[in-house]
Amino acid sequence: MVVMPPESTPRRPLLKAMAGGVVAIGAVGAVVRVTSGDDGPGGASGRLELSGQGAGGVGALDLRLGDDLLPQISGGRFRSAQLPTTTHSMLAFTWTGTAEPRIQIKSRRRGAWSPWQAVEVLRDLPDLDSGERSGVTGTDLLWIGDSDGIQIHVAGGRPQDLTLVLLHPSRERSDALLDADASRRTTSVQTRATPTVPRPTIVARRTWGADESLRDGAPRYNETIKQVHIHHTVSSNDYAKEDVAGLIRGMYRYHTQNLGWSDLGYNFLVDRFGRIWEGRAGGPAKAVRGAHTLGFNDTSTGISVIGNFDLVKPGKAIIDAVASIAAWKLDLYGRKADGFVRVASEGSDKYSASRVVKLPAIDGHRDTNDTACPGQHLYDVLPTIRKRTQAVIDRYRDAADPIAVTRPATLSGTPAFGEQLVLSPGDYTPADATHTFAWARDDVVITGASGAVYTCVAADVGAVISGGLELSSPGREPVTQVLRAPGPVTAPSTVTVGTRAGSKGYATIYVQVSPPSGSTAVATGKIRVQVNNRTKTVSLADGAGVARFGRGRGFRPGRYNVTVVYPGNGVVRGSRAETTITIPPR
């Protein structure tokens, strides 16, 4: 059975139609397929198939759960068979109305079924007057890792339009590159007339692959920031570094295409490795209004830590990252992190509209709403986060005059295999500031390269080398300068020529153009091959090319000069070789 989605409709009208029960399947641009095949465990008679990589590079299946897939077993309890699926890694459920069914799932990973796992109702919500409430209620979006089966149990009644959402973000090649040590990267000299908390390194939306066409409307802005609300995503804690960008793309798809929000709900996300990710669009430095803390989004920013912190304790990398983003945002508005603020609720399930509440400047989601978020273990370390955040703010507010760069650093030398690049620190005050050097290959820090001079090696060929200089002095904010070489590292080439002569006057010239051993660069482009006064231009494939002469007009017997010229390709430099070929008598 193949069920196609309805004709293309703007997203807002479609969501309103869903809320009114007009659309039979809760799908937005997704194709629902149930394919026949071998019975899976439990006797399921087909496989649920996700669409190809759709919006935002996320495969998706939005499937209405009726009696055929989720039959009643007793009273208000419903249970599916063990349903085989194509690969999915994230799941959630949506419905319309205010019902709150108790949902549990099992997943099949690597051939084994997991224990039953609860899927909680999502409490990280837009405000009632935000224009983002579509009438669709949803659960938390769970990251479960690559799975190919699901079983569903529902208690407390099954909403008429209960919809299963399965997602599988594709893993892009660039996702793995985000594993680089981002804390060692910057793009400009950081100097300030008045010391303020520096902006931490934030992975931008364009870097994690946000499809901006999924957003609906322009960002909305608050007048100020008084609070930082801390959340957790209630997803798995065992994701890899290269999973995170896709996980956020899936969350973005769920918030916009399934829940009908204008954008990703959170302003920032922090992964278990301590990396900070830009969430909602509008500019990290601005007071962007999020959709994360019902009733309290209008004077706050929201940080969600990826994971389930009812199950595990947050590590130091998470605590440091949350403190760094909180310190930066609160300092921009002159706030203290370890105090309390008075804010007026816009209406939550804990505080009625217009009620003025005294809350910590950095609080947990449970302080404003009826939820367990951000998980007990993360909530328990909020005092530590507040203390650390305030220490960061105090460090920069009380700092001495900043380091002044009077003559910027310079990078000299030729980016070529075997050549040296030299980083000169320039001039600065105070003159006793210490400097530390670092080098990077395509923005990835080179381990062990910590001097002012760097010699280009074979592994650098084709990459852009940059040199970093950090100036530091007690009581002052460090100043970092990063300078990039003017182009990729080049390397010489060696042209190797082989010949074969035929008795009919044929001449075949075999050419291999090779960069230095240990380099991953490849000679590309064309070579010019000349035998006596005849010339041919031949394209290289994996650095090799073959030129054939004499097929129409053979050479007379004798000895001929052979010249091969490779002009280079911008990375592998040009070279030439000469030899001879002897054509035998016929």
124-174 pLDDT per residue, tens: 888 888 888 888 999 999 999 999 999 999 999 999 999 999 999 987 766
Strands 404-407 and 427-429: antiparallel
Instruction: Tell me the CATH number of domain 404-484, given options 3.30.1490.190, 1.10.760.10, 2.60.40.2700, 2.40.30.10.
Output: 2.60.40.2700
Measured CA to CA in angstroms, residue 268 lies from 128, 277, 283, 306 at distances of 21, 6, 11, 10
Predicted local confidence at residue 174, as pLDDT:
61
**How do residues 83-96 score in pLDDT, each as one tens digit?**
999 999 999 999 99
547 pLDDT tier (thresholds 50, 70, 90): very high
- Domain at 494-583: CATH code: 2.60.40.1940
Give the tokens for residue 246: 């896709």
Integer Cα distance of 397 and 401 in angstroms: 11
199 pLDDT tier (thresholds 50, 70, 90): very high
Tell me the one-letter amino acid at 69.
Answer: L
Query: Residue 69: is its pLDDT beyond 90?
Result: yes
Beta bridge partners of 569: none
Integer Cα distance of 302 and 322 in angstroms: 11
Give the tokens for residue 418: 């075997």
Give burial (CB, 10 Å; 0-12/13-18/19+) of 90.
buried
Mean pLDDT of the chain: 87
DSSP 3-state of 451: coil
Integer Cα distance of 359 and 494 in angstroms: 70
Pairwise pLDDT comparison (178 vs 288), residue with the higher score:
288
Helical (H) or strand (E) element with 14: helix 11-19
Average pLDDT, integer, range 452-458: 96
Closest C-alpha to 158, from 83, 88, 262, 75: 75
Percentage of the chain modeled with pLDDT above 70: 87
Q: Return the sign of the alpha-carbon dihedral for residues 298, 303, 306, 311.
A: negative
Percentage of the chain modeled with pLDDT above 90: 76
576 pLDDT tier (thresholds 50, 70, 90): very high
**How do residues 346-371 score in pLDDT, each as one tens digit?**
999 999 999 999 999 999 999 999 99
Closest C-alpha to 81, from 118, 48, 51: 48
**Reported pTM:** 0.64
Measured CA to CA in angstroms, residue 236 lies from 123, 311, 539 at distances of 18, 10, 50
Is residue 155 within 8 A of residue 101, CB to CB? The reply is yes
Query: Residue 191: is its pLDDT beyond 50?
Result: no
Q: Which positions ≥6 away from 292 have C-beta within 8 Å?
A: 124, 125, 229, 231, 265, 266, 267, 302, 304, 365
Integer Cα distance of 80 and 293 in angstroms: 33
CATH 3.60.20.10 fits 178-397, yes or no: no
What is the number of alpha carbons within 13 Å of residue 439 lying toward its C-beta? 24
Peptide bond into 430 cis (omega under 30): yes
Q: Return the sign of the alpha-carbon dihedral for residues 179, 180, 183, 186.
A: negative
Closest C-alpha to 499, from 490, 489, 487, 512: 512
What is the number of alpha carbons within 13 Å of residue 166 lying toward its C-beta? 30
Q: Return the sign of the alpha-carbon dihedral for residues 375, 377, 380, 383.
A: negative
Peptide bond into 478 cis (omega under 30): no
What is the number of alpha carbons within 13 Å of residue 569 lying toward its C-beta? 18
Torsion on CA atoms 574, 580, 581, 585, rounded to nearest 10:
160
Is residue 49 within 8 A of residue 85, CB to CB? The reply is yes
Average pLDDT, integer, range 100-109: 96
Residue 95 phi/psi, 5-degree rounding, is -165, 170
Ranges of CATH 2.60.40.1940 domains, the chain: 494-583
Q: Which positions ≥6 away from 350 have C-beta within 8 Å?
A: 295, 368, 369, 370
Give burial (CB, 10 Å; 0-12/13-18/19+) of 282.
buried
Pairwise pLDDT comparison (134 vs 449), residue with the higher score:
449
Q: Rounded to the nearest 5 degrees, what angle is found at the Cα of 204, between the Cα atoms of 333 and 468?
A: 90
Integer Cα distance of 326 and 226 in angstroms: 11
Ranges of CATH 2.60.40.2700 domains, the chain: 404-484
**How do residues 389-440 score in pLDDT, each as one tens digit?**
999 998 888 766 778 999 999 999 999 999 999 999 999 998 889 999 999 9
Query: Residue 27: is its pLDDT beyond 90?
Result: no
Integer Cα distance of 248 and 430 in angstroms: 43
* C-beta atoms surrounding 213 within 10 Å: 9
8 pLDDT tier (thresholds 50, 70, 90): very low
Average pLDDT, integer, range 272-298: 95
Q: Which positions ≥6 away from 46 have C-beta within 8 Å?
A: 34, 35, 36, 37, 84
3-state helix, strand, coil in the chain (%, to 5): 15, 35, 50
Q: Which positions ≥6 away from 232 have C-beta within 8 Å?
A: 304, 305, 306, 307, 308, 309, 373, 374, 375, 378
Looking up tokens 């364009």 gives 206
Give the tokens for residue 123: 């409490």
